[in-house]
Amino acid sequence: MRWTAVLPVVLVSVAVAVAGLPAHADPVAGPPGSVVEAGPLNSVAMLPGAAEGYRVVYRTTDHHGAGRLSSGAVYVPPGPAPDRGWPVVSYAHGTIGLADGCEPSVTGGLGDEGAYMDRWLRRGYAVVATDYAGLGTPGELAYLDGVAAGHDVVDMVRAGRATVPELSPRWVVAGLSQGGHAALHTAHLATAYGPELDYRGAVALAPPTNLEQVFPFAGPGVSNFGVAGLTKFTLFTMVGLAGARPDLDVPSRLSPRGRELAALATQVCTTDVGRQIGKMQVGELFSRPIDDLRPALADYIGVPTVGYDRPVFIGQGAVDLVVPMPLTLLFTQQLVAADSRFDLRLYPSADHIGVLAASFDDSAAVVDRLVN
């Protein structure tokens, strides 16, 4: 039975359930991955290769296990589902901003990332894609909080399967940049956090790693050292850390201009923030050094080097100026030292976005073997 036949029943059931709740009922009270709202995607957020698309609001948990709401999209390939159901790619998107109104399940606008997701659909995979908690749902986005993002990604699979019964429990995670960071964290926690699912592996493209070693140097007077977007990404991280750890009083460390931009970052999407930043150097965000934040940053954004119990594919463009190749090579050296297994592929002519297309055939061949 196709989901289009059961969607009206589910929507009525959700409406009745919500209407029957006491006025004080907490919408986050429920199992992670359970669906609060579901409905058809609008035309802007649809992918051309999808036969069906749905937007869901679902329950997840933050870094410390407290309940939150997140949202995301479910895309179903055309044709009948395989006997074991559609295998699932849970996609984690790159940086698009911190503000409500930036969420892809409403606004679309993922460009090359959307084309990348569409290639998985045309290969016979269902795609589920979290917006991340805080984009279009209550509270702030904990930007680069790896544990929280990993929970978002796993719970999006649960929500997708609750929405479309034909989705298989067999799944992988894939993501670029911020999403590559999320993919690595997902890989680290997936089997323990979602034991009823059948997690098979990860594709992490241009994943920012070792940032807890880099960001603490970003005090007054520090330049961007040629890293594209460093001021913007540092700003977003400071905003996220301020929300996650109010005890650190992060705003007091920002310059007046830094505080202005931090406020702006919660109101508009990343392109508009970038216009305001212009050629501003990362040191201009700060009024005093932040090296004492290193332990907090390690907990917040640090990527584990051990504990991966399924294969990990890492794709990196050699001419990437956003996540420079030396950072990724350092991370893979750390994985080797920790005796963690991975598959690293370098793409000589690929930049930050170009690694999506450059790596697809290699990663898809790996994923096909993992899920079949």
* Inter-residue contact 218 to 281 (CB < 8 Å): no
* Inter-residue contact 98 to 237 (CB < 8 Å): no
Look at phi and psi of residue 42 and say left if phi exceeds 0, alpha if psi is from -120 to 50, else beta: beta
What does the block give as tokens for 273?
């923030």
Residues 235-246: pLDDT tens digits? Answer: 999 999 999 999
In whole angstroms, give the CA distance from residue 53 to residue 128. 10
* Inter-residue contact 81 to 222 (CB < 8 Å): no
Own/partner long-range contacts of 55-58 (Cβ < 8 Å, ≥24 apart):
55/105, 55/106, 56/159, 56/160, 56/163, 57/137, 58/33, 58/34, 58/155, 58/156, 58/158, 58/159, 58/162
pLDDT value of position 8: 38
In whole angstroms, give the CA distance from residue 190 to residue 1. 29
Residues 186-209: pLDDT tens digits? Answer: 999 999 999 999 999 999 999 999
Please name which of 211, 235, 229 lies closest in space to residue 299, comparing C-alpha atoms: 211
Residue 91, classed as helix, strand or coil, is strand
Residues 22-43: pLDDT tens digits? Answer: 444 578 889 999 999 999 999 9
Domain ranges of the chain: 26-210+303-371, 211-300
Stretch 32-60: mean pLDDT, rounded? 97
In whole angstroms, give the CA distance from residue 370 to residue 186. 16
User: What is the average pLDDT score of the chain?
Assistant: 92
Residues 85-116: pLDDT tens digits? Answer: 999 999 999 999 999 999 999 999 899 999 99
In whole angstroms, give the CA distance from residue 215 to residue 115. 32
Q: Is the pLDDT of residue 214 over 60?
A: yes
Provide the H-helix boundaries in the chain: 3-19, 104-107, 112-122, 146-163, 178-193, 211-214, 230-244, 256-265, 270-277, 294-301, 325-337, 355-371
Residue 187, classed as helix, strand or coil, is helix
Q: Is the pLDDT of residue 117 over 50?
A: yes
Helix axes 230-244, 270-277, angle to 10 degrees: 120
Residue 120, classed as helix, strand or coil, is helix
Pairing mode, strands 167-176 and 198-205: parallel
* Inter-residue contact 4 to 166 (CB < 8 Å): no
Q: Which fold has domain 26-210+303-371?
A: Rossmann fold (3.40.50)
